[in-house]
Chain A
Amino acid sequence: MFTQDEDTIVALATAPGVGAISVIRVSGEKSIELVDKIFLGKIKLIQAHTHTIHYGRISDSNNDLIDDVLVSVFKAPHSYTGENSIEISSHGSTLIVKKIIERLVEVGARLAEPGEFTKRAFLNGRIDLAQAEAVADIINSRTEASLRGARNQLDGLLSQKVNFLRNSLINSSSLIELELDFAEEDLEFVSLNQVLIQIDEIEKEIDDLISTYKFGRIIKDGINVALVGKPNVGKSSLLNYLLKEKRAIVSEIPGTTRDIIREEVNIDGILFTLYDTAGIRETDDVIEQEGVNRSVETIKNSDVVIFLNDIQTGFSQKLFDKLKSFTDEERIIKVINKIDLNPNFSFDCDVKISAKTGEGIDELFAVLKEKALGSESYSEKSAIVSNIRHLDALKRAKEYLENAKLSIEQKLSGEFIAVDLRNAESSLGEIIGRVTSDDILNNIFMKFCIGK
């Protein structure tokens, strides 16, 4: 519990709207007593054991029934926030939820600010900084893979890895500091080449982490796919097929002359966001030009481009050349549509599909996935970077290590190397919320015989 008179906070924990049930979460030292004021069950919740579920009724101030509910009791410190908490499962209705929350506020709770439950969990030492950020990611997860990625981080995989790297760095720094502060001692000082090797190893591991970011971002945010092709090659049919067979969710991006259609489709736990572009041919029409600009922008921001062609009209080389001026060729998947019409006719392409029959669609998504993720595959048990702040810190650490290596190569004295090693260490420390301290000296005292 953070302070003696900590507020009790309340919020809806499930998605707003109509569903089978809704869960309302209450947290704070007095949360159990508070819910007791509006809940009528077999026993008083204050007497209930932690991790038990109780059936009862919640009534309004006039004693009129609001809903029959199930109440779960979690006692400090064994709850998500580390405080006493209650989860109320009511029938899924916006009105019921509204009434229950209003009732809780009446008896002394207040509405939680965004992220306040997680903040309390963090403040109560239930999770570390990287884990707290992962919680935000879990809440925003839209696919299973994304959820698993965030879960990994919540379990501290990234923290563990970064902590390990930071300790390696402290070992390297110790070797350098040893020679600076204990030059008079009869010690065997390490050759700088050995430090260089250590730095290289650490840097390689940082590189590996950095390279997971693409994957991390994709499992978190999904793969952005632009759909390009001449009119009538079947872009709309492809989208319609996905909508019908793969339960894609369609939305329109407003504010453009010709709105871009966006579809989100979840295949094998990965979120694909498909953008139907308006075309990229040159035009004098101002309004149309606006649409073209918008399309080019979409192509540039995409991870992969599906270049759709009609098997009847053949491969449009001109449009393909144009497309290559906006994005890397290797990001483009050449697709032939309408193979149901002329299955024996063929020309150079990556995937053949029929948006009408669905033939080849699964293969298309397999290729999409491979293009976006590359051949790299990460186990869900690897430490994965999906947060831009972490990526940034890792990149800075790498930069400092590069500087340190340069200093070693220029045969500069240890204190110059040490500046960058310290900076690198502190950059890694930022990820896991560690601050530079006496770690280096303590390490030296532990490992070397110091003292005249």
Chain B
Amino acid sequence: MKEYDVIVVGGGHAGIEASVSAALMGCSVALVTMDKHAIGRMSCNPAIGGSAKGHLVHEVDALGGMMGLIADRTGIQFRTLNKSKGPAVWAGRCQSDRKLYSLEAENVIANTKNLEIVEDSIVEAFEENKKIVGVKTAKGNEIKCKALVVCSGTFLNGLMYTGFNATKGGRFGEPPAVGLTESLVKMGFVSGRLKTGTPPRLLKSSINWDILEEQPGDENPEPFSMRTPKEKFPYLPQVSCHITYTSPEVHKILEKGFDRSPLFTGLISGVGPRYCPSIEDKVVRFSDKERHQLFLEPEGLDSDLIYLNGFSSSLPAEIQFEALRKIKGLENVEMVRPAYAIEYDYFPPYQVDLTLETKLIEGLYFAGQINGTSGYEEAAGQGIVAGINAALKIQKRKEFVLSRNESYIGVLIDDLVGKSTDEPYRMFTSRAEHRLLLRQDNADRRLLKYGYEFGLIPEEMYKDLQNREVLIAKSVELFSQKRISPLNINQLLESKGINKIENGEIVGKLVKRPELNLKEVLENSGFNDDEIVLELLKNPKALEQVEIELKYEGYIQRQHELVEKMEKLEKIQIPLNFNYTNLKTISAEGREKLSKVKPRTIGQASRISGVTPSDISILLVYFKS
């Protein structure tokens, strides 16, 4: 019988990160996928990143993951969102060439040592004494393993709906995965149903592009990965997206199909995401809105498909088609594939721990949509944590848990475990209470040390960061004392039309003026012989960090105040075997949720949905006394 250290089920964005990280850490890994050409296939929109998601990509990259690299090599439009706002909410986003992304992902897997692709499907998992020992495949093979990472996406008992038409499948044209859910339920896991959807694909040549609003990419695109060589980026020609809108006429046509909507008629029981509603949902819930915005996104450089972002639906195909033709620019459109909703199994994530190992079965890990998330980036973030932890466990090393105040991935997993989402979970920057500290620009400062520790980040990159840290610290200290003379700086201030200074001013204070940046201040400082200043001017990455630290000093300080306030609750431990059933004073729902999640601290308990503030007050009084 074949044997691997780690078996990863599913070759999506979680599966890629999990299998590559475990393999690079020295484990023998099998990536089980139904079709090796489907590795890294983008089921929904052909894009990576976006608000808060871009942050996740940067974090995965700092840990040594692959998503940023693949996105950089296959992106056909790069933009930084929120550029007009502060650095904490800048977020990278790219349109990807769907076909090339998948090819590149397959390439990465194929070129990773210790990693083998197995084209098959898992129908059963085996445990002995609550420890995972192996799997059985659809082709009838049994494979032994020490750890199993399940990244099944929407494939577990996937059911796709267009109107009352239901087709079994995990993605358009692909069969579902059957058997694994049942096997896990037999072990004692609880499964649930979630719903998500994808919009129609349109024929590129049937669209009247000339009358549509164009949305080009950035003039100076920024890569996601710090390992992408700047001189090669961008690798591909860059293209534009386009924008159009629905109208009251379109909404009326859609309404005609409501009686055949699997969503409104109750056929779909799974819960869909509130932030990504179907077009019919938007029409119903926001009936006073006359139009909804739609994005026409290219599927690839030589693809004749267009992805209609904003028009996901499960209405009958003929209704979709009729409505589409009333949209500006789509008067003669050909619909290649209708929108569909997909319902799939997930395992409410209170069943995993912060390492993503299940609480029930040792060596079994869940990552991605199986934990109730939505989005490639959320999947990748979990994939790398699960892969690293699987490897650490096998090598009998200490577990890897990211905290909320050092990463979005930490926020993500803590939310999942504590709140156990009942709608597909997407990351938002507002979910991170420590948002000002969790920026794309400092992802390496926060997380590179872990990537290096696990051997996923090369030593020279880590050394480079360490040197930068020294320079940053020295500079911040220097600029909190060193004064600039009016003689040197006033000319610059005058040219910017801002008040001149009369006496020497401390650099750190001067830089807080919104009109000024650190670089120009230093260039007009007269500090030409200061070694630290000279070195900093030669190091744009360090310069950026010093500037942010100085400019937003007060805010970052107050952000820390909130962190500390919350940390107090994090410090009050709850015994692992605590029995909530006798705490009749806590609301019934609160008791049930607490018993399920078994939070490690009151802080974690306070974030559990269904646990009310008064429940927390009661726990506080109970555990403090």
Q: How far is the CA of A412 from the CA of B551 in the complex (A)?
A: 11
Q: How far is the CB of B440 from chain A (nearest CB, A)?
A: 13
Residues A411 and B552 in contact, CB atoms below 8 Å apart: no
Residues B293 and A435 in contact, CB atoms below 8 Å apart: no
Q: How far is the CB of B243 from chain A (nearest CB, A)?
A: 9
Known contacts A415-B436, A433-B614: does B85 contact A125 (CB below 8 Å)? Answer: no
B81 within 8 A of A: yes
Which chain A positions have C-beta within 8 A of B85? 180, 183, 413-415
Residues A186 and B82 in contact, CB atoms below 8 Å apart: no
Residues A177 and B616 in contact, CB atoms below 8 Å apart: no
Q: How far is the CB of A129 from chain B (nearest CB, A)?
A: 6
Stretch at the interface among B66-74, B341-349, B423-431, B492-500: B423-431
Which A residues, 381 to 437, have Cβ-Cβ distances below 8 Å to chain B?
400, 403, 407, 410-416, 418-420, 422-423, 426, 429, 432-437
Residues A436 and B275 in contact, CB atoms below 8 Å apart: no
Residues B431 and A416 in contact, CB atoms below 8 Å apart: no
Which chain B positions have C-beta within 8 A of A2? 582-585
A182 within 8 A of B: yes
A1 within 8 A of B: yes
A28 within 8 A of B: no
B277 within 8 A of A: yes
Q: How far is the CB of A113 from chain B (nearest CB, A)?
A: 10
Q: How far is the CB of A451 from chain B (nearest CB, A)?
A: 4
Q: How far is the CA of A436 from the CA of B435 in the complex (A)?
A: 14
A234 within 8 A of B: no
Which B residues, 582 to 625, have Cβ-Cβ distances below 8 Å to chain A?
582-587, 606-607, 609, 613-614, 616-618, 621-622
Residues A418 and B617 in contact, CB atoms below 8 Å apart: no
Chain A 429-448 interface 0/1 with B at a Cβ cutoff of 8 Å (1 = within): 10011111110110011000
Which A residues, 313 to 359, have Cβ-Cβ distances below 8 Å to chain B?
none
Residues A423 and B433 in contact, CB atoms below 8 Å apart: no
Which chain B positions have C-beta within 8 A of A122? 617-618, 621
Q: How far is the CA of A432 from the CA of B614 in the complex (A)?
A: 9
Stretch at the interface among B144-152, B384-392, B558-566: B558-566
Chain B 267-304 interface 0/1 with A at a Cβ cutoff of 8 Å (1 = within): 00000011111000010011001011111000000000
Q: How far is the CB of A82 from chain B (nearest CB, A)?
A: 7
Residues B585 and A449 in contact, CB atoms below 8 Å apart: no
Known contacts A435-B606, A440-B430: does B582 contact A119 (CB below 8 Å)? Answer: no
Residues A451 and B276 in contact, CB atoms below 8 Å apart: yes
Which chain A positions have C-beta within 8 A of B276? 450-452
Contact residues of B: prevailing secondary structure: mixed
B51 within 8 A of A: yes
Which chain B positions have C-beta within 8 A of A128? 614, 617
B15 within 8 A of A: no
A195 within 8 A of B: no
Q: Which of B50, B566, B607, B613 has the most CB of A within 10 A?
A: B613
Q: How far is the CA of A159 from the CA of B85 in the complex (A)?
A: 36
Which chain A positions have C-beta within 8 A of B503? none
Q: How far is the CA of A182 from the CA of B433 in the complex (A)?
A: 17
Q: How far is the CB of B314 from chain A (nearest CB, A)?
A: 15
Q: How far is the CA of A438 from the CA of B275 in the complex (A)?
A: 14
B475 within 8 A of A: no
Interface size class of A (residues with CB under 8 A): 35 or more
Closest to A442 in B: B274
Q: Which of A411, A414, A415 has the most CB of B within 10 A?
A: A415
Q: How far is the CA of A177 from the CA of B52 in the complex (A)?
A: 12
Which chain A positions have C-beta within 8 A of B582? 2-4
Closest to B435 in A: A415
A123 within 8 A of B: yes
Q: How far is the CA of A82 from the CA of B50 in the complex (A)?
A: 51
Known contacts A181-B51, A415-B86, A441-B428: does B286 contact A403 (CB below 8 Å)? Answer: no
Q: How far is the CA of A451 from the CA of B426 in the complex (A)?
A: 11
Known contacts A435-B569, A449-B285: does B559 contact A82 (CB below 8 Å)? Answer: no
Residues B51 and A183 in contact, CB atoms below 8 Å apart: yes
Q: How far is the CB of B375 from chain A (nearest CB, A)?
A: 13
Q: How far is the CA of A128 from the CA of B607 in the complex (A)?
A: 19
> B552 contacts which of A1, A416, A441, A450 (Cβ < 8 Å)?
A416
Residues B555 and A433 in contact, CB atoms below 8 Å apart: no
Residues A413 and B621 in contact, CB atoms below 8 Å apart: no
Residues A419 and B613 in contact, CB atoms below 8 Å apart: no
B310 within 8 A of A: yes
Which chain A positions have C-beta within 8 A of B285? 449
Q: How far is the CA of A182 from the CA of B285 in the complex (A)?
A: 18
Q: Which of A1, A181, A403, A438 has the most CB of B within 10 A?
A: A181
Residues A124 and B430 in contact, CB atoms below 8 Å apart: no
Q: How far is the CB of B495 from chain A (nearest CB, A)?
A: 21
Q: How far is the CB of A112 from chain B (nearest CB, A)?
A: 14
Q: How far is the CB of B612 from chain A (nearest CB, A)?
A: 9
Known contacts A2-B585, A184-B51, A441-B430: does B555 contact A449 (CB below 8 Å)? Answer: no
Which chain A positions have C-beta within 8 A of B471? none
B89 within 8 A of A: yes
Chain A 103-145 interface 0/1 with B at a Cβ cutoff of 8 Å (1 = within): 0000000000000000100111100110000000000000000
Residues B81 and A437 in contact, CB atoms below 8 Å apart: no
> A422 contacts which of B273, B275, B433 (Cβ < 8 Å)?
B433
Q: How far is the CB of B611 from chain A (nearest CB, A)?
A: 9
B514 within 8 A of A: yes
Residues B618 and A125 in contact, CB atoms below 8 Å apart: yes
Q: How far is the CB of A410 from chain B (nearest CB, A)?
A: 7
Q: How far is the CA of A433 from the CA of B555 in the complex (A)?
A: 25
A185 within 8 A of B: yes
Which chain B positions have C-beta within 8 A of A434? 613
Residues B614 and A125 in contact, CB atoms below 8 Å apart: yes
Which chain B positions have C-beta within 8 A of A429? 613
Q: Which of B245, B430, B565 has the most CB of A within 10 A?
A: B430
B129 within 8 A of A: no
Which chain B positions have C-beta within 8 A of A410? 514
Q: How far is the CA of A450 from the CA of B586 in the complex (A)?
A: 35
> B275 contacts which of A411, A418, A445 (Cβ < 8 Å)?
A445
B88 within 8 A of A: yes
Residues A420 and B86 in contact, CB atoms below 8 Å apart: no
Residues A418 and B430 in contact, CB atoms below 8 Å apart: yes
Residues A433 and B613 in contact, CB atoms below 8 Å apart: yes
Residues B292 and A449 in contact, CB atoms below 8 Å apart: yes
> B274 contacts which of A413, A445, A452 (Cβ < 8 Å)?
A445
Closest to A76 in B: B584
Residues B282 and A422 in contact, CB atoms below 8 Å apart: no
Residues B82 and A183 in contact, CB atoms below 8 Å apart: yes
Q: How far is the CB of A119 from chain B (nearest CB, A)?
A: 7
Residues B429 and A186 in contact, CB atoms below 8 Å apart: no
Q: How far is the CB of A439 from chain B (nearest CB, A)?
A: 11
Q: How far is the CA of A432 from the CA of B617 in the complex (A)?
A: 10
Q: How far is the CA of A1 from the CA of B292 in the complex (A)?
A: 53
Which chain B positions have C-beta within 8 A of A412? 86, 514
Q: How far is the CA of A410 from the CA of B565 in the complex (A)?
A: 27
Which chain B positions have C-beta within 8 A of A422? 433, 562
Closest 10 CB pairs of A and B: A186-B293, A413-B85, A449-B286, A413-B86, A452-B310, A434-B613, A445-B274, A177-B430, A451-B276, A181-B428
- Chain B residues with CB under 8 Å of chain A are 50-52, 81-82, 84-86, 88-89, 245, 273-277, 282, 285-286, 289, 291-295, 309-310, 419, 428-431, 433, 435-436, 514, 552, 555, 558-559, 561-562, 565-566, 569, 582-587, 606-607, 609, 613-614, 616-618, 621-622
**Beyond A125-B586, A435-B616: 14 further Cβ-contacts under 8 Å?**
A1-B584, A122-B617, A123-B618, A123-B621, A128-B617, A181-B428, A186-B292, A418-B435, A419-B435, A429-B613, A437-B607, A438-B419, A441-B431, A449-B277
Of the A-B pairs whose beta carbons lie under 8 Å apart in the complex, a sample of 17, sorted by A's number, is A3-B582, A122-B617, A128-B614, A181-B428, A183-B81, A183-B82, A184-B50, A185-B293, A412-B86, A415-B89, A419-B562, A440-B430, A441-B431, A444-B430, A449-B286, A449-B292, A450-B275
- Chain A residues with CB under 8 Å of chain B are 1-4, 82, 119, 122-125, 128-129, 177, 180-186, 400, 403, 407, 410-416, 418-420, 422-423, 426, 429, 432-438, 440-441, 444-445, 449-452
